[in-house]
Amino acid sequence: MDHQTVYVVDFGGQYTQLIVRRVREFGVYSEMIAWPDAAAKIRENKPSAVILSGGPRSTLEEGAPDLDFSVLEGIPTLGICYGMQLMAHRLGGKVEAAGHKEYGHRTYKPVADGSIVDALTSYQVWMSHGDQVLEAPTGFITTASTDSCPIAAFENDAKHIYGVQFHPEVSHTPDGKTILRRFLFEKANLKADWTSQTFIDEQVALIRETVGDKKVLCAVSGGVDSSVMAALLIRAIGDRAVCVFVDHGLMRKNEAEQVIETFRGHFHANLKAFDEKDRFFGKLKGVTEPEKKRKTIGEQFVCVFEDHAKELQDCDFLAQGTLYPDVIESGSPTAAKIKTHHNVGGLPDWMNMKLIEPLRWLFKDEVREVGRMLGLPDEMVDREPFPGPGLGVRILGEVTPERVKMVQDADYIFRSVLKERGLNKGIWQSYAALLDVRSVGVMGDERTYEHPIVLRAVESEDAMTARAVAIPFDALEHIANRIVNEVNGVNRVFYDLTSKPPATIELE
C-alpha cells in the first residue's frame, strides 16, 4: 500500500492495539510491530512516524524490551509511558523507580508554551507506571509535570521527538486524541490518506493481482467478517469466488436459512451450502474440553471439504475472515495465546491452497465500515460478532441437539427483548449460554432439577477489552421469566457481570 505509515512498536503494553486504532481513526494507516523486529522493519521500510508503546517491564531490568534508536534518526517519534522512559534511558537521560507510583487518573500542569500537551481543554490523564524519568536527555525540555512526577512529558521539537508518561490513547485521558492529532499532523506533517474506500480499491487490485484467473474458496458463516470478505472477493473476481457455507447445527435460531437466502438473494453469490449437522453432532458426542471442541469442529470442516473434493478441488486459494484481534489472541511475539480462534482448522493434502486473508489487519469497526462501503445491508453489517465454532463455545460440557435448542431458544428471547426495548444499541455482543450443571427449582408446585442459562451482554471497542452492559433490572427480570417459562429444561437464569479481563467475552 502506498500510504504514509505509522509504526507502533509494541513493548507488551495492554493498550498497544488501541494506539493503532486511534491513529487509524484519523485516517492515517498504522501497523503494530513487535519490538524484537522493530529496528529491522523501521530501517527497511522507513515509516512516516513511529510511536513507542507502553509496557509492563522496567527499562532498568536486565533483558527489558529495547530498541536501537539510531534507526529513528529523522523520523518523528512519540514515546508513551514505557516508550518515553526508554527514550530517556537510550538518549542520555535518567530513569528511576518512582517513589510514588502513579496508577489511575492524575492532573498534570503544562510547563512549556506551544508543546503538544499545552493549551488543551482538559489536563486530566490516565497514568499507569512504576518508573519515571528523573532527568530528560540533553536538548529536551520538560513540557508537563504532576505533583509526584516532575517530568510527565518532554520533547525535542527540533528533532521531532516527543514523550508523555501518561496514556493519550485511552478514553480516560479526555484530550488524548488532541495530543495524538497534534503529533500526527502538526509535528509529523502527515496527511489523512487512508479510508475505507482506498482500502477496498487496494484490496480488490491486490486480490486480482494475487489470484489471476484462478478460483478462491471462501468459507462463509453469515457473520460480519466472512460476509465482508465474500463481498470483497465477489467484487474483485465475481463467480470465481466460490462461497461455501457449512451448516454445522451450531448457528443461532433461524440463522442458517438466513445466511443461504442472503448470499443467494443479495449477493447472487456462487454459493455451495452443505447440511452437515449430523456429522458435527456425532463427532462432538462426549467432547467437553473447550480446546478439543474447537479443534473437533475445525477438523470436521476439513472433512466436509474432503467429502466434497470434486466440487472444490479446482480452487487454488483459500480465503479466511481473520481479523486483527484473532491474530493477537491466537498468539503473537508479545501476547500470550488465550485460545485458538477458529476459521478452518488445517487443510487436507489435496487442498494445497494458498491462503489469503484480506481483513487480517482490520479491527471490527473498520470491517463494518468497509461492509457499508460495499453496499451490504445494515442487518448484516451490524450483526453482533459470532464465534466460528458457533454455539459450541456457548454450551459448557457436551454439545447435543437438545442442548443446542435450549441455547437457541433462550438466546432468541434475550436478544429479541433487548431489540424490542431499544437496549441493543451500543452492545458489542449479547448471547445466552448453557452451564454444565443442574440446580433445584420449583415449577407448578413440583420440584425441578434442571439447567441454568447465563446471559451475557458486553460493550467494547475492539474485543480486546470489554465490560458488562448495565441492562435495567426490570428487563432482565422479564427476560428471565420468559426463558424459564418458554425454554424446556431451564429453571434458573444468571447475568454475567464479569469484564474482560479477567474473563473472556465467550465462556469458552
Whichever domain contains 262, its CATH number is 3.40.50.620
Cα Rg of the chain, angstroms: 25
Told to judge if 169 belongs to the known catalytic residues of this protein, a careful annotator would answer yes
Which residues, in sequence order, are bridge partners of residue 247?
Answer: 275
Q: In the chain, helix, strand, coil percent, each to 5? A: 35, 25, 40
Write down which residue in 163, 187, 211 finishes a domain: 187
Q: Which grid coordinates are listed for 133? A: 524519568
Write down which residue in 381, 413, 435 finishes a domain: 381
**pLDDT attached to residue 340:** 43
Same domain, 178 and 223: no
Distances (CA, A) of 291 to 18, 303, 372, 392, 502: 28, 18, 34, 11, 19
Domain count, the chain: 3
Under a CB-based contact definition with an 8 Å cutoff, are residues 454 and 496 in contact?
A: yes
d(CA 96, CA 58): 9
Q: Which grid coordinates are listed for 67? A: 530498541
Query: Which has the closest alpha carbon to 295: 381, 233, 388?
Result: 388
Residue located via cell numbers 475492539: 462
Under a CB-based contact definition with an 8 Å cutoff, are residues 144 and 135 in contact?
A: no
d(CA 270, CA 243): 6
**pLDDT attached to residue 190:** 97
**pLDDT attached to residue 115:** 94
Same domain, 37 and 161: yes
Same domain, 168 and 202: no
* 387 within a domain of the structure (yes/no): no
CATH number reported for the structural domain that contains residue 490 in this entry: 3.30.300.10
pTM higher than the cut 0.95: no
d(CA 383, CA 436): 28
**pLDDT attached to residue 343:** 47
Same domain, 342 and 225: yes
* 395 within a domain of the structure (yes/no): no
Active-site entry in 89, 129, 167, 342: 167
Same domain, 339 and 465: no
Residue located via cell numbers 498497544: 16
* 104 within a domain of the structure (yes/no): yes
Cis-peptide, bond into residue 501, ω within 30° of zero: yes
Same domain, 257 and 158: no
* 274 within a domain of the structure (yes/no): yes
Told to judge if 167 belongs to the known catalytic residues of this protein, a careful annotator would answer yes
Beta carbons within 10 angstroms of residue 1's beta carbon: 11
DSSP 8-state symbol, 72: G
Burial class from Cβ neighbours inside 10 Å (0-12, 13-18, 19+) for residue 476 reads middle
Could you report the per-residue pLDDT of 99-137, keeping only the tens digit for each? 666 678 889 999 999 999 999 999 999 888 778 899 999
* 34 within a domain of the structure (yes/no): yes
Same domain, 108 and 171: yes
CATH number reported for the structural domain that contains residue 19 in this entry: 3.40.50.880
**Domain containing 434: what range?**
400-495
Enumerate residue ranges in the chain where pLDDT < 50.
331-346
* 24 within a domain of the structure (yes/no): yes
* 10 within a domain of the structure (yes/no): yes
Write down which residue in 324, 353, 381 finishes a domain: 381
d(CA 157, CA 248): 59
Same domain, 248 and 340: yes
Active-site entry in 81, 218, 243, 315: 81
Under a CB-based contact definition with an 8 Å cutoff, are residues 352 and 309 in contact?
A: no
**pLDDT attached to residue 353:** 76
Q: What is the DSSP string of 197-227?
A: HHHHHHHHHHHHHHHTT--EEEEE-SSHHHH
Same domain, 371 and 440: no
Same domain, 173 and 205: no
d(CA 14, CA 152): 20
* 98 within a domain of the structure (yes/no): yes
3-state secondary structure of 155: strand
**pLDDT attached to residue 101:** 67
Which residues, in sequence order, are bridge partners of residue 155?
Answer: 141, 162
Q: Which grid coordinates are listed for 146? A: 504532576
d(CA 321, CA 479): 33
Same domain, 302 and 371: yes
**pLDDT attached to residue 337:** 39
Same domain, 60 and 128: yes
Containing 181, the helix (H) or strand (E) segment is helix 176-181
Active-site entry in 102, 155, 169, 506: 169
d(CA 414, CA 418): 6
Told to judge if 102 belongs to the known catalytic residues of this protein, a careful annotator would answer no
Task: Report CA 459 to chain centroid distance, whole Å.
Answer: 13
